Amino acid sequence: MASIHFISGLPRSGSTLLAALLRQNPRFQAGMSGPLAGLFGALLSEMSARNEFSVFIDDAKRERILHGLFDNFYADSTAEVIFDTNRAWCAWMPAIAKLFPEAKVIACVRELPWVIDSIERLVQRNVFSPSSIFNYSSGGTVYTRANGVAAADGMVGAPYDALKQACYGAQRDRLLLVQYETLTTDPAKTMHAIYAFIGEPVFEHDFDHVDYDVTEFDERAGTPGLHTVRSTVKADRRPSLLPPDLFNRFVNDAFWRDPKNVPEGLQVI
> 171 and 7 in contact (C-beta within 8 Å)?
no
With a CB cutoff of 8 Å and minimum separation 6, the contacts of 101 are none
> 120 and 142 in contact (C-beta within 8 Å)?
yes
- pLDDT in the model for residue 238: 87
| Per-residue model confidence as pLDDT tens digits over 170-184 | 999 999 999 999 999
As to burial, measured by CB atoms within 10 angstroms (0-12 exposed, 13-18 middle, 19+ buried), residue 99 is: middle
- DSSP element (H, E) containing 193: helix 187-198
Confidence of residue 228 (pLDDT cuts 50, 70, 90): low
> 249 and 261 in contact (C-beta within 8 Å)?
no
| Per-residue model confidence as pLDDT tens digits over 103-161 | 999 999 999 999 999 999 988 887 666 666 766 676 789 999 999 999 999 999 999 99
- pLDDT in the model for residue 128: 63
Q: Which CATH class is domain 3-268?
A: alpha beta
Residue 227 has pLDDT above 70, yes or no: no
Edge-to-edge order in the sheet of strand 105-109 = 28-29, 81-85, 3-9, 105-109, 175-179, 267-268
| Per-residue model confidence as pLDDT tens digits over 68-111 | 999 999 999 999 999 999 999 999 999 999 999 999 999 999 99
